Amino acid sequence: MSSGRPNICIAAELSPTEAGGVETNLHSLVAGLAGGEDAQLGWKLLSPDRTLAPWLAEAGSRFTGIPWPYPISGGLVHPKPLSPLRSLLTRVGLGRRLEAAEPFDRLLRDAGVGAVHFPYSTSFPTTLPTVYEPWDLQHRHLPEFFTPAEIDSRERVYGGSCQRAKVVITATRFVKEDIARQFGIARSRIAVVPRSSLQFQQRLTLEEKAIARAQHGLPDRFLFYPAMTFRHKNHEKLFEALVILRERHGIVLPLICSGRPHKPYHPTVLEAARRLGVEGQVKFLGKVPGELMCALFSTAELLVFPSLYEGLGLPVLEAYHHG
């Protein structure tokens, strides 16, 4: 029920235990608001039952939770799973009538919600004021990296959510200008909110770095690339660079990669390392805990970041934090 204060609801359907840029941003948003002192607003986290308790444990007393029962389909949340006919009608433009906001609005209003913040690409129909935060429009610039169905989904979700939002938030001026040009959104409705990561903040002393090297078996010198194995992260080109360093310059440096495997493309990345003869030089750690991430950032010889496209690129900011 409403407490009498305006309540802002943050959509947090992502698992707090997963690794990735949007997850890091969501963790930082929750942590930043949890540490605030503004008593004029109430904050609520909207999440499925399986992830709501972990988010609330992280958020602390400033947040209350809304269990969210609706599944996600193609980036849009629907009152029930879409049938093939419903999906077809949505794609050809009749979805607005079918995706009635009423069941979502009823749940939100019963919880005293006055506005909804979508901190990443997922959204759902609602007549409440919304804040929408698309990370980038990569599908417009690198369409070859997406299936036709993925492009169609992004166009509907990103474009429609930007049009409906009271405010669109981006992390960079580059993305703001891209949204304005690509979707025809007035620049006055797009706010640039610079940010960093509030994760991986532990700064290590020289002694702590030495202990971390020993505990995790880190080599004395290594390159570090924190990125999921999406195609645009460009791991293969990085492997080619390792070959050039080794064969032309006699430089052999281990490469440590963190980030959870992106299953559709991860086998291709592993095959590229084998084909180029660097599989013994490259180590994939997958998702790693925060303590190890701090150790990797603090002890790496270099951060390497050969990504072909980024809206922001949080690992670069995290690397700056660690010097």
Q: Please, is 220 exposed, middle or buried when counting C-beta atoms within 10 Å of its C-beta (0-12, 13-18, 19+)? A: exposed
CB-based contact 229:262 (threshold 8 Å)? yes
Q: What is the pLDDT of residues 103-134, one digit of tens each?
A: 888 899 999 999 999 999 888 889 999 999 99
pLDDT, one tens digit for every residue, the chain (323 residues): 445 567 899 999 888 888 778 888 888 888 888 877 666 678 999 999 889 999 999 888 889 999 988 866 444 444 444 455 444 444 444 444 345 688 888 899 999 999 999 999 888 889 999 999 999 999 999 999 999 999 999 999 999 999 999 999 999 999 999 999 999 999 999 999 988 777 777 788 888 888 888 888 889 899 999 999 999 999 999 999 999 999 999 999 999 999 989 988 999 999 999 999 999 999 999 988 888 888 899 899 999 999 999 999 889 988 988 88
Interior/surface letters 274-309, b for 16+ CB within 10 angstroms, e for the rest: eeeebeebbebbeebeeebbbbbbbbbeebbbebeb
Identical fold, 7-192 and 206-321: yes
Top CATH class of 7-192 equals alpha beta
Domain boundaries, the chain: 7-192, 206-321
What pTM value is reported for the model? 0.82
User: Under CATH, what is the fold of the domain 206-321?
Assistant: Rossmann fold (3.40.50)
- Which position has the token pair 């939770």? 65
